[in-house]
């Protein structure tokens, strides 16, 4: 069995915490580990199990690899999608990679899991996976149906058909998100479960059914994978071939039309954490039903979700609010309307606001930078470089830079010279001069960068050499 972990998606309904450049699957929303790390952790104990295949966006590749390393896990392959094309093509790439990696004739089971779901009962999760194994080995395409706990209108549903085993049924139909009355009827009937988006099937069986019902998708994915290139620890599929692939979910492409779909129930405290309301329902709340995270003070307030990241957040005499305060954006919303947060994100995109895509703190493979202040013709950043890492060899057409070391030692390439600067020392990089910053030490290098010039955008970086393969 090979886990296939889908790391795409932007989690826009969890803005301003989740953003395109660093979405919810890479954030510690519940507990100390990120959602990706928790997804990998809950597989521990399932045997036999190979290292996972990750499918993720190119921009997230270093975050995905580093987060696995932090918990002592590796991936047998990290497949990079040059553009988003939904779950049917993503799983096809993983199936092709799994078959190519194994000995001739081997046909592994693929356990397909989104990276951004929460599961509170890991033992029940693993029991459901084991229950589905025999069906998948027989050629069924198994989906896991979450045992519903309420008349939920935010999920799709699966209706059971004929019984296949003690805890498995044929899928009679997949149904879209219902209205309240319909959801209540589904719950009362006992024949419906929530559609979890988790699957177990043989790699070859998925490709067979995909070829039967959406041969165009499989053709495009085969072409993209055939022309793939290795890039460090990543497999970069062909951009042109993959961009030509249809944007389609696995449900529409395969699971709905196939006659081999089976459903195994799962009662494991599952949530897709699709909104702030979902997080409020899932997490532990106080006596007044408030979910408080960070430096928060409430008085006479009930049923609120309040998250403060860098300063005190106080509420007085309010109910049913979501308040999320980050370094550069503040969200205040009616808790019953948080599904509409994506409308705010859409408006931000339409007006060209960077807050839709990036946080103030931006992670890079070498460390991160935090944009502290900015104004006409200047910008101030706090830069942290991990031990042994270096930025690209680069130059700028429109800005000069001043660097002041706060902690550690910096090895600076500036034109033809190399210098070492330590705490309380500084250097100046004139406009147009080729330069590089490196941390040769054993502790994080921290410095303050002051940029000045006519244009300070991140696209004013001309990379001449980069060990991370960035353009």
**pLDDT digit string, tens, across residues 322-331:** 999 999 999 9
Q: 3-state secondary structure string, the chain? A: CEEEEECCCCCHHHCCCCECCECHHHCCCCCCCCHHHHHHHCCCCCCCCCCCEEEEEHHHHHHHHHHHHHCCCCCCEEEEECCCCCHHHHHHHHHHHHHHHCCCCCCCEEEEEECCCEECCHHHHHHHHHHHHHHHHCCCEEEEEECCCCCCCCCCEEEEEEEEECCEEEEEEEECCCCHHHHHHHHHHCCEEEEEEEEEEEHHHHHHHHHHHCHHHHHHHHHHHHCCEEECCEEECCHHHHHCCCCCCHHHHHHCCCCCEEEEEECCCEECCCCHHHHHHHCCCCCCCCEEECCEEEECCECCEEEECCCCEEEECCECEEEEECCCCEEEEEHHHHHHHHHHHHHHHHCCCHHHCCCCEEEECCEEEEEEEEECCEEEEEEEECCCCECCEEECCCEEEEEEEEECCEEEEECCEEEEECCCCEEEECCCCCEEEECCCCCCEEEEEEEEECCCCCCCCEEEECCCCCC
**Domain 361-465 in this protein, CATH class:** mainly beta
- Can you tell me the mean pLDDT for 66-90? 94
What CATH fold (topology level) applies to the domain 2-271? Spore Coat Polysaccharide Biosynthesis Protein SpsA; Chain A (3.90.550)
* pLDDT band of 453, cuts 50, 70, 90: very high
Query: Quick check: do 2-271 and 361-465 share a fold?
Result: no
Which pLDDT value is given to residue 105?
Answer: 73
- pLDDT of 471 higher than 80: no
Which pLDDT value is given to residue 154?
Answer: 87
Which pLDDT value is given to residue 467?
Answer: 87
- pLDDT of 175 higher than 90: yes
- Can you tell me the mean pLDDT for 441-470? 92
Which pLDDT value is given to residue 128?
Answer: 97
Which pLDDT value is given to residue 470?
Answer: 74
Which pLDDT value is given to residue 205?
Answer: 98
List the chain domain ranges: 2-271, 276-342, 361-465
**pLDDT digit string, tens, across residues 184-217:** 999 999 999 999 999 999 999 999 999 999 999 9
**pLDDT digit string, tens, across residues 5-15:** 999 888 999 99
Which pLDDT value is given to residue 38?
Answer: 97
Whole-prediction pTM value?
Answer: 0.90
Which pLDDT value is given to residue 24?
Answer: 96
Which pLDDT value is given to residue 106?
Answer: 86
**pLDDT digit string, tens, across residues 281-340:** 988 999 999 999 999 999 999 999 999 988 999 999 999 999 999 999 999 999 999 999
Which pLDDT value is given to residue 231?
Answer: 80
């Amino acid at each position: 069995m090979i886990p296939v972990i889908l790391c795409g998606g932007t989690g826009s309904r969890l803005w301003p915490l989740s953003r395109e450049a660093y979405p919810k699957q890479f954030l510690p929303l519940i507990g100390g580990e990120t959602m990706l790390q928790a997804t990998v952790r809950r597989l521990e104990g399932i045997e036999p199990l190979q290292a996972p295949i990750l499918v993720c966006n190119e921009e997230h590749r270093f975050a995905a690899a580093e987060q696995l390393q932090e918990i002592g896990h590796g991936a047998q392959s990290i497949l990079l999608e040059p553009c988003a094309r939904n779950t049917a093509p993503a799983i096809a790439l993983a199936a092709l990679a799994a078959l190519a990696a194994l000995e001739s004739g081997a046909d592994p089971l693929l356990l397909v899991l989104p990276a951004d779901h929460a599961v509170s009962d890991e033992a029940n999760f693993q029991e459901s996976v084991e229950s589905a194994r025999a069906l998948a080995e027989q050629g069924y395409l198994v989906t896991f149906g979450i045992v519903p706990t309420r008349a939920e209108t935010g999920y799709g549903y699966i209706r059971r058909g004929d019984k296949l085993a003690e805890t498995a049924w044929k899928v009679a139909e997949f149904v879209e998100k219902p209205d309240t009355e319909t959801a209540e009827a589904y719950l009362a009937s006992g024949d419906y479960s929530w559609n979890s988006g988790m699957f177990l099937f043989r790699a070859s069986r998925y490709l067979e059914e995909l070829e039967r019902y959406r041969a165009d998708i499989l053709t495009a994915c085969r072409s993209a994978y055939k022309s793939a290139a290795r890039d460090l620890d990543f497999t970069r599929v062909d951009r042109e071939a993959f961009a030509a692939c249809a944007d389609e979910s696995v449900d529409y492409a395969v699971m709905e039309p196939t006659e081999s779909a089976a459903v195994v129930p799962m009662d494991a405290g599952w949530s897709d954490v699709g909104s702030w309301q979902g997080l409020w329902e899932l997490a532990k709340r106080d006596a007044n039903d408030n979910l408080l995270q960070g430096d928060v003070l409430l008085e006479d307030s009930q049923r609120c979700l309040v998250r403060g990241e860098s300063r005190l957040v106080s509420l007085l005499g309010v109910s049913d609010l979501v308040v999320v305060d980050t370094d550069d954006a503040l969200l205040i919303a009616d808790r019953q309307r948080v599904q509409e947060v994506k409308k705010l994100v859409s408006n931000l995109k339409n007006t060209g606001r960077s807050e839709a895509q990036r946080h103030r703190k931006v992670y890079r493979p070498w460390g991160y930078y935090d944009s502290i202040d900015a104004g006409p013709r200047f910008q101030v950043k706090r830069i942290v470089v991990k031990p042994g890492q270096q930025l690209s060899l680069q130059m700028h057409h429109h800005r000069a830079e001043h660097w002041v070391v706060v902690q550690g030692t910096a090895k600076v390439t500036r034109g033809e010279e190399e210098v070492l600067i330590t705490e309380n020392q500084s250097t100046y990089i004139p406009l147009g001069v080729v330069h590089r910053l490196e941390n040769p030490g054993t502790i994080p290098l921290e410095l303050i960068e002051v940029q000045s010039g006519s244009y300070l955008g991140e696209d004013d970086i001309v990379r001449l050499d980069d060990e991370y393969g960035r353009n």
